[in-house]
Structure 1
Amino acid sequence: MTRIALWMLVGCLTAAVYASEQIPEGRDLSADQIVEKNIAARGGLDAWRKIQTMVWVGHVDSANTPSDELPFALALKRPNKTRFEMTVLNQRAVRVFNGKQGWKVSPSATGGGEARPYTMDELKSAHDEQVIDGLLIDHQAKGVDVTLDGIDKVDGHDAYRLAVKLPSGVTRHVWVDAQSFLDVKYDRAARGPRGPVTVEVKYSDYKDVEGLQIPFTIESGAAAAGKRDKLTIDKVSLNPPLDDTMFAKPASQGWHNSVSVNAEPSPPMPPALSRTSP
């Protein structure tokens, strides 16, 4: 769920370094027990299994963009379809993945570019994502192996560090708060301008959305970086109707089949979504 939006912005991020500790005495939970508590804290397995589509609307703040509070809309559909739209200087940047192939449209000086296919690295990352519910829920059915790797301090609180091995062979890490059992941090490898880097993503401001706990603030960047990229969610809609054409190759400028055109959630999306329209 929360990993997709930040992956869309990963090109502007740099390496993160983590300090780790041994698991404190008395914290003898197994990886399976931590995952079980995490799922319960997030709203429960049955509740998440009922979610087939999800739409986020909000804004992005980044030192790497020309203005603050750029509006975005993110549409997710099982099993692994995503569409991310962000308005930049009255033009829309679009990234779409239909579960097998991906395309991107970037704003240009002439008003809009043609849809370009994902690179091989982008395709690998998109295939590795688990949209809607993330890596831990139903991880065995997804072929994801989870082991307890230790415990770290995350913003002053103990958090279990789980090593998560994906079917592709890639290993990532998820940090679960030792008190709330909600996800508080996540890392992934990315290709930077000078080679591979590790991206750190933090989750906070959890809110109840129809019984599910969803983070409404997501920050990413290097651990020692001054300013982080920040994604703020203003509205989450669960199970809105999303036609598969929304995840097809976008037309020139990315205006057609947009979230604002085709997604009609109930209740309707707030005015923030209309700002993504031409």
Structure 2
Amino acid sequence: MKTMIKSICLVAGMLVASVASAQSTEEILAKHEAAMGGADKWAAVKTAVVKNKFSVQGMDIESNTSLVIGKSFRTEVAVMGNKIITVIDGNKGWMNRPAMMGGTGEPEDMPADQVKMAGSQLMLGSILTNAKKDGYKIDLVSKEKLDGADVYLLTVTKPSGEDSKVYVSTATNFVVKTQAKVQVNGQEVDSEVSFSNYKMVNGLAFPHTVETPSPMGGTMTVETVSVEINPTIDAAIFAKPSK
């Protein structure tokens, strides 16, 4: 009888802990969503144009991305007088890279794995708001320190089993870092991205500084120059041109 009572108490305790954890996760998600501007405002965003700038090995680079949410995007990167174009349109993609940058100078189809990996760029907003909308599993792991500041560590798990670590500031409720393993050219590599300098655009919060380790060493910092919400975008810019 004592053993049975202990078992019942143990299960009850586990259930209480589970409910408490679920409530904490939902509370964090609700605060994060509110800080980002609210689900209704994000749902009203159908298109966007984002301009960025960054430097790599002393070269100043500018990029311009035209996005139809959940459907298509086109990014043009200008560097040293050359232009690299990357397009995702539905489940297909193409790119145009100059010969000096490893391309052919002609439009070429993107490999399926690159198209899949680039799929996350079809969305705006944070990894958490998008994961919640898509019904992915989100779990609160712990509360800890990151660079001396208090953060919540959550995990986002896709139906495929792929998961990401997401760090949320307890002070601002913004995502400040993500970590994941991604497939690049058939190899699994670590991906780490830091977000800061959040600014409101049309009532929506965007990180205007994004940092990630550079393959060439050091850190690559991308600064957002401007964000335009719901501009008119011609669908023709996503079509692959003839050679």
| Structure-1-length-normalised TM-score | 0.71
* 2:54 equivalent among 57, 60, 84: 60
Aligned to 1:228: 219
- After TM superposition, give the deviation of residue 109 of structure 1 in Å: 4.0
> Structure 1 residues 159, 84: CA separation in 2 closer, same or farther (over 3 Å shift)?
same
1:30 equivalent to 2:30? Answer: no
Summarize deviations over 1:101-157 as a string: whole Å, max 9, x none. Answer: 111211224996122222232122133555122432263441322111223433321
Which whole-Å CA distance do the structure 1 matches of 2:185 and 2:91 have between them? 26
Summarize deviations over 1:69-124 as a string: whole Å, max 9, x none. Answer: 21111122122422111112111001111121111211224996122222232122
Aligned to 1:94: 85
Amino acid at match of 1:124: K
Aligned to 2:238: 247
Amino acid at match of 2:29: V
Aligned to 1:78: 69
- After TM superposition, give the deviation of residue 203 of structure 1 in Å: 0.7
Which whole-Å CA distance do the structure 2 matches of 1:194 and 1:99 have between them? 22
**Does the CA-based 8 Å contact 1:135-1:144 persist in structure 2?**
no
Runs of 4+ more than 6 Å apart: none
Summarize deviations over 1:159-186 as a string: whole Å, max 9, x none. Answer: 1111111243321122111110011111
* 1:149 equivalent among 120, 141, 146: 141
**Does the CA-based 8 Å contact 2:83-2:97 persist in structure 1?**
yes
- After TM superposition, give the deviation of residue 251 of structure 1 in Å: 5.5
Which whole-Å CA distance do the structure 1 matches of 2:217 and 2:185 have between them? 19
Amino acid at match of 2:97: S
> Structure 1 residues 138, 192: CA separation in 2 closer, same or farther (over 3 Å shift)?
closer
* 2:165 equivalent among 173, 177, 202: 173
- CA RMSD, 1 decimal: 2.7
Summarize deviations over 1:194-248 as a string: whole Å, max 9, x none. Answer: 94211110111111112111111111117xx962111111111111111222222
> Structure 1 residues 198, 242: CA separation in 2 closer, same or farther (over 3 Å shift)?
same
- After TM superposition, give the deviation of residue 28 of structure 1 in Å: 9.5
Q: Which runs of 5+ in 2 are unaligned?
A: 1-20
The worse-fitting range, judged by mean Cα deviation, of 100-109 and 208-217 is 100-109
Equivalent position SS for 1:168 = coil
Amino acid at match of 1:55: V
Amino acid at match of 1:68: M
Equivalent position SS for 1:113 = coil
Aligned to 2:188: 196
Which whole-Å CA distance do the structure 2 matches of 1:78 and 1:193 have between them? 26
Equivalent position SS for 2:65 = strand
Task: Count residues in correspondence.
Answer: 221
- After TM superposition, give the deviation of residue 40 of structure 1 in Å: 0.3
Which whole-Å CA distance do the structure 2 matches of 1:127 and 1:192 have between them? 14
1:40 equivalent to 2:59? Answer: no
Higher share of residues assigned strand:
2
Amino acid at match of 1:147: D
| Structure-2-length-normalised TM-score | 0.80
Which whole-Å CA distance do the structure 2 matches of 1:186 and 1:201 have between them? 5
Q: Percent of pairs identical after alignment?
A: 29
